[in-house]
Amino acid sequence: MARQGSLSCVGVGMVLGAHLAPRARSLIEQADVVFCVVSDPLVEQWLAGMNADVRSLQDCYAPGRPRLDTYREMQERVLAQVRAGRRVCLALYGHPGVFARMPHEAVAAARAEGHPAHMEPAISAEDCLYADLGIDPGRVGCQHHEATQLLLNQRRLDPSAWLVVWQVALAGDRRNLTRGTTPAHRALLVERLQRDYPRDHEVVVYEAATLAIAAPRIERLPLSALPEARLELQSTLVVPPAMPLRADPVMHARLAALEAGACAMHTVTAPL
């Protein structure tokens, strides 16, 4: 009987050689074929030391090619090997399912065809950001948006929480075509953010280090300076809260009433 193919999506984390979890490593080592989409040829070389058949999907990208076509081709190459009965590992930088559509779709497509498929969690740019910028997302909350989606939709932002804007260098790229949009596109992003934040609010352009010897880029600037800032494909925009949390007096009162009721009940029912 023909062997059943399978798919594992793993993330190698952000820092070369430092973030790979043991389970992800073993899936890479035991795969029949490893496809990779990583940030640096050095990462590919490192993966090649763990498995003899490592194939980059980087050549699916081409100037002017819609990114959705690129992702479709990547997924097809991966699924063709799964259908051929092979244990396939798809390795991506960061977390394979954070702001990364193709791996989720590849897992869903493989399962729909009856193949076992799963995703391993990994260290993403978000995890590095919390550590490097000293942010605890639980303190006042943290909202994450993709830059173009934020521009194109009527989203409600909460300026009392942190805001993280992903793919900021591609803000406004409606056709998923470019390798970076223009200052005019970013001026529109600033205009959108100004509905909720002051023009001179300090924001951070953040880039996690990808080598253990490098430092992260943490550049603070006023929101209004964003259009002219140097933005790379790996840049993430971090917007600190612009106002304190506002208490909800109605909920305070209702909780106080519940507590008072619970106290009264406790007094009545408590054993002597």
| Dihedral angle, C-alpha 24, 27, 33, 37, nearest 10 ° | -10
Q: How far apart are CA 155 and CA 134, in angstroms?
A: 26
Whether 71 is a known active-site residue: answer yes
Alpha-carbon distance of 115 to 6, in angstroms, equals 6
Q: Smallest gap, in angstroms, from Cβ of residue 95 to ligand SAM?
A: 4
Interface with ligand SAM by CB under 6 A: which range of 67-75, 78-86, 175-183, 233-241? 233-241
The mark string for 5-24 relative to ligand SAM (x by CB under 6 A, - otherwise) is ---------x----------
Least spacing, CB of residue 138 vs ligand SAM, in Å: 20
Q: Please give the residue whose beta carbon sits closest to ligand SAM in the complex.
A: 94
Cα–Cα dist 235/169, whole Å: 7
Size of the site for ligand SAM (CB under 6 A): 17
Catalytic residue among 93, 192, 197, 206, which? 93
Q: How far is the C-alpha of 117 from the C-alpha of 192, rounded, in Å?
A: 39
Q: What 3-state class would DSSP assign to 17?
A: coil
* Separation of alpha carbons 30 and 210, rounded Å: 25
- Binding segment toward ligand SAM, per CB under 6 A, in 50-58, 153-161, 182-190, 201-209: 201-209
Site for ligand SAM (CB under 6 A): which residue of 7, 88, 208, 226?
A: 208
Identify which range of 42-50, 173-181, 232-240, 260-268 contacts ligand SAM by CB under 6 A.
232-240
Radius of gyration of the CA atoms of the chain, in A: 23
Nearer to ligand SAM (CB atom), residue 27 or residue 237: 237
Q: Provide the pairing of β-strand 6-11 with 87-92.
A: parallel
Q: According to CB under 6 A, which one of 6, 8, 167, 181 is a site residue for ligand SAM?
A: 167
For residue 129, what are the contacts with CB-CB under 8 A and spacing of at least 6? 135, 164, 206, 208, 236, 238
C-alpha torsion angle, residues 183, 186, 191, 194 (rounded to 10): -120
- Which range of residues in 2-10, 113-121, 206-214, 248-256 is near ligand SAM by CB under 6 A? 206-214
Count how many residues are written for the chain: 272
DSSP code, position 98: S
Letters for 57-96 (x = contact with ligand SAM by CB under 6 A, - = none) are -------------------------------------xx-
Clarify whether 206 is annotated catalytic. Answer: no
220 catalytic, yes or no?
no
Distance, CA of 122 to CA of 140 (rounded, Å):
24
Binding-site member from 211, 233, 255, 264 for ligand SAM (CB under 6 A): 233
Alpha-carbon span 104 to 82, nearest angstrom: 15
Residues that bind ligand SAM (CB under 6 A): 14, 94-95, 98-100, 124-125, 166-167, 206-208, 210, 233-234, 236
Q: Catalytic residues, which ones?
A: 67, 71, 93
